[in-house]
Copies of this chain bind each other. A is one copy, B any other.
Amino acid sequence: MAPIRAAVAGATGYLGMTCTALLAGHPDVVLVRLLSRSHAGRRHSDVVPGSAVDMVLSDGLDPGEVEVVLAALPHAVAAAQAGSWLAGGAVVVDMSADFRLRDVDLYERWYGLQHPACDLAASAVYALPELHAAAVRGADLLAVPGCYPTAALLATVPALKAGLVAPDVIVDAKSGVSGAGRSPSAGTHFSEVNESVHAYGVAGHRHSAEMVQEMSLAAGGAVRVTFVPHLIPMTRGLLATAYLRPLPGVGHEQLRAVYAAFCEGLPCLRLDENPPPTKSVSGTNLAALHVGWQDGVAVVTCAVDNLVKGGAGQAVQAMNLRFGLEETAGLPTRSRWP
């Protein structure tokens, strides 16, 4: 089979460079084009430390040039271009939030702007492969969830889907700093965030809306989500700790069994016997789950690498499904320790 011709848009941000590196090593893909708004004309390896990809960055794509575009752009930017990419015959795997919400009004409320491509939104699939593999295989516009929703949903959906817990969940998440992207700011300044931890988005975070959407879909009814993210002094890794209230009669073993059944056959999930440290999945496309129980409350933790399973790796995983490749092709599933 001829390799799939792919482009990465936004190839020099953290998600984009991770995606580029994964595709450069992917056995069934050939990188045809790397797009960058700010670095066009320079080599990838000159802009990204340690990059072994020395393609020159472009500022545009020719129609028909590629079969798939993986877009790691800020919200609203990818949406504005997705139409032309799709019209040119490419599948679009979008890592932004633009096409994740079914309710465009919600998008416009949270993101404070008019949706740049409402018409396309309806055809998009929420591309969390563990939840929507079949739909992913049949769609041309894939909206890949980011790090927080990925971990929060994998920690809670199995229980909600099985109807074992109350539709009112708390997710306390801890993220490494790379989740905030490559642009320097006070909030990502080493001296400000090192040796410290703090909560943010306490009054409500943009990513809650898609959690509510997907948890409610799984539960078959409205689910209330209280989601509080925290910034942790590490570069990579994200841990979601979900607190779930089991319905009367539900026990720990029953709950664990439901998660075990859910993980069955899913190559990017790992069910651990102890709460997973994020480093045990660092650099991989794995989500590691643990189903704990404390005096009648279920405590489910989910660890991911925020840039891989929480972004670029998941985009590749979705692309693999869409093109009929092996689900984990090109994706690291072995972490390195320490």
Contact = CB atoms under 8 A, between A and B. Distances in A.
Contacts of A24: 334
A50 B241 contact: no
A21 B276 contact: no
A172 interface: yes
A196 B52 contact: no
A50 B14 contact: no
Contacts of A338: 14, 178, 182, 191-192, 194, 235-236, 307
A69 B335 CA distance: 23
A5 interface: no
Contacts of A17: 337
A234 interface: yes
Interface string A262-287: 00000000000001111111111000
Interface string A33-49: 00000000000000011
A186 B176 CA distance: 17
Contact of A292 (B21, B174, B199): B199
A275 B237 contact: no
Interface in A290-338: 290, 292-297, 299, 301, 303, 307, 333-338
A182 B292 CA distance: 28
Nearest to A228: B299
B191 A334 contact: no
A195 B282 contact: yes
Nearest to A172: B172
A232 B235 contact: no
B51 A337 contact: yes
Contacts of A101: none
A21 to B, nearest CB: 6
Contacts of A48: 337
B334 A239 contact: no
A198 interface: yes
B283 A243 contact: no
A200 B50 contact: no
Given A186-B184, A243-B226, A279 B337 contact: no
Contacts of A170: 170, 243, 297
Contacts of A296: 224
A194 B202 contact: no
15 contacts: A25-B334, A49-B279, A50-B280, A176-B195, A178-B338, A193-B277, A194-B194, A198-B277, A199-B239, A202-B299, A227-B294, A228-B241, A228-B243, A230-B241, A233-B234
- A-B residue pairs, 7 tightest by C-beta: A202-B292, A196-B279, A50-B280, A50-B335, A184-B184, A198-B277, A191-B338
Interface of A: 14, 17-18, 21, 24-25, 48-52, 170, 172, 174, 176-178, 182, 184-186, 188-200, 202-204, 224, 226-228, 230, 232-237, 239, 241, 243, 275-284, 290, 292-297, 299, 301, 303, 307, 333-338
